[in-house]
């Protein structure tokens, strides 16, 4: 009873905050999948190609290896590719708390840690006109945060294979600047 009341109050407060912040902005952005970003970001510089060759693109696949299965079994868990306890850092959708998957998109859990895990669910910002305008993109859910805190949501000691996280070094491994503009 009491818990429900606190939850209801919390939702009212949260709703009020969101409305006060940006009355017209949608908050229920949907996942479109990294291959939707590819259509433009292969031409505008090469972020897609760089991501595809990175460990993030293999984060789901990794959960299918014997090493992953052993880690899961040692924790009393089943198939790591089905366990929320692993998917929450290895798969975009689960990491983002289960946003809807856009019906016209190409999102699949197999893409691992995709573009949208760092840049936000893309259904509302992926249009070219919005993308070119930083403020419009942000208002439509685009996130661009090069902070250690963003990375350590996953790169932390809750990871069974945690290695110390050095932001500068690790960023250099996944940097994906736009190199040629069109």
Nearer to ligand HEC, 4 or 161 (CB): 161
Token pair listed for 136: 């419009």
| CB 19, min distance to ligand HEC, A | 25
Is 142 in contact with 119 (CB distance < 8 Å)? yes
Tell me how far apart the alpha carbons of residues 44 and 42 are, in angstroms, rounded to a whole number.
Answer: 6
Nearer to ligand HEC, 10 or 134 (CB): 134
Phi/psi region, residue 88 (left: phi>0; alpha: psi -120 to 50; beta: rest), is alpha
Q: Which residues lie near ligand HEC (CB under 6 A)? A: 32, 34, 36-37, 39-41, 44, 47-48, 51, 55-56, 58-59, 62-63, 65, 67-68, 71-72, 75, 77, 80, 83, 85-86, 88-90, 95, 113, 115-119, 122, 126, 128, 131-132, 134, 137, 144-146, 150-151, 153-156, 158-163, 170-171, 173-174, 176-178, 181
Nearer to ligand HEC, 8 or 153 (CB): 153
Q: Which residues of 145-156 are buried (b: 16+ CB within 10 A; e: fewer)?
A: eeeeeebeebbe
Nearer to ligand HEC, 9 or 127 (CB): 127
For ligand HEC, the nearest residue by Cβ is: 122
Residue position matching structure tokens 């939702």 = 11
Q: Helix, strand, or coil here: 169?
A: helix
| CB 22, min distance to ligand HEC, A | 17
| CB 18, min distance to ligand HEC, A | 22
| CB 170, min distance to ligand HEC, A | 4
Residue position matching structure tokens 């840690």 = 113
Nearer to ligand HEC, 3 or 181 (CB): 181
Contacts of 50 (CB under 8 A, 6+ apart): 174, 175, 176
Q: How many CA atoms lie within 13 A of 163 on its CB side?
A: 4
């Amino acid at each position: 009873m009491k818990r429900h009341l606190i939850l209801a109050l919390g939702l009212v407060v949260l709703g009020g905050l969101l409305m006060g912040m940006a009355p017209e902005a949608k908050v229920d952005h949907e996942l479109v999948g990294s291959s939707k970003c590819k259509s433009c970001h292969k031409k505008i510089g090469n972020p897609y190609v760089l991501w595809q060759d990175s460990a993030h693109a293999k984060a789901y696949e990794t959960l299918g290896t014997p090493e992953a299965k052993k880690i899961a079994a040692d924790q009393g868990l089943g198939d790591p590719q089905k366990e929320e306890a692993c998917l929450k850092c290895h798969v975009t959708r689960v990491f983002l708390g289960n946003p809807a998957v856009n019906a016209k998109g190409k999102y699949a859990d197999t893409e691992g840690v995709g573009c949208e895990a760092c840049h936000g669910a893309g259904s509302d910002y992926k249009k070219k006109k919005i993308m070119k305008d930083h403020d419009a993109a942000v208002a439509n859910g685009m996130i661009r945060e090069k902070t250690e805190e963003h990375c350590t949501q996953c790169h932390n000691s809750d990871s069974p294979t945690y290695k110390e996280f050095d932001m500068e070094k690790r960023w250099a491994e996944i940097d994906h600047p736009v190199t040629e503009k069109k």
